[in-house]
Structure 1
C-alpha cells in the first residue's frame, strides 16, 4: 500500500464524533480503492465480522451503528500486510519490593503494629520487633460461627414455606 492505514479512530468511544466519522469515511475510501470495480466489500462491524459482503454505504452504516470490530487488527482484506517484526507493547514492570512495602504498611496500620512514626519499624514503646517474633493475629472462634450459620440454616426464608 502506498499510504499507512490510520486505525486510531476505531477506539473512539463516541461513534458520532467527527474523528470517528472521518475514520469511517477514510476506511470506506480504502475499501473502494481495494475493491475497485466491485460494489461490495466485507463488513468489519461487530455484527458481521467480515463474514458478509455489503454495499459500501451499508458498510458505512454498520460501522457507525454497530462499531468497528476491535479484534480485526490487521486489515488483510483491505490490503494491509502482516509485519515481519511483530509489534510488542512494552509493559513497565512495577518494583515488587515497593508494592510489598506499601502493603506491609497497610497491614501494620490495620493491626496497630509499628505505630511509632512515619515508616518506622519501631513500635510505640520504642521496642523493635525482631524477625523471629510472631505477630499477633487474632483467631476467629469457628465454633461460634458454625452455630450461627447452623441456626440461620434452620430458619425459614419465607413464612409460607
Structure 2
C-alpha cells in the first residue's frame, strides 16, 4: 500500500481517528486485495487466515485490533 500515515493504528480503538483509519484501510484493501466481497482479516484473532466481509472485518478491527506488527500491509495491497 501507499506510504500512508499509520499512526492511527496505535490509538485507542474507540477513538474517531482510529475508526476513520480503519475505514480508509478497508476502502483501499477492498479495492486492491479482495476476493469477491471478502478480504483476509488482519485482526489479532484471525491473523490474516480467514476471509470475511467488510462489516465483519471492521467489527473485528475495532473490537480486537490489528495483529501485532502489521504495519506493512502485505496482504492488503
| TM-score normalised by length of structure 2 | 0.87
Structure 1 segment 27-106 matched on structure 2, within 5 A: 27-35=25-33, 38-79=36-77
Q: Is the CA contact (8 Å cut-off) linking 1:31 and 1:78 kept in structure 2? A: yes
Superposed structure 1 runs of 4+ greater than 4 Å apart: none
- Structure 2 partner of 1:8: 7
How big is the alpha-carbon RMSD for the aligned residues of Structure 1 and Structure 2?
1.6
Structure 1 window deviating more from structure 2 (27-36 vs 59-68): it is: 27-36
Take 1:30 and 1:8, find their aligned partners in 2: how far apart are those partners?
17
- Structure 1, gaps ≥5 residues long: 80-161
Secondary structure at the residue paired with 2:75? helix
Counterpart of 1:77 in 2: which secondary structure? Answer: coil
Against the structure 1 CA distance between its residues 39 and 70, is the aligned structure 2 distance closer, same or farther, given a 3 Å change threshold? same
Could you tell me which runs of 5 or more consecutive residues in structure 2 were left unpaired when the two chains were aligned. Answer: none
Q: In the alignment, is the contact (CA less than 8 A) between 1:10 and 1:70 conserved in 2?
A: no
Name whichever structure is richer in strand by fraction: 2
TM-fit CA distance, 1:34: 0.7
Greater length-normalized contact order (CA 8 Å, ≥ 6 residues apart): 2
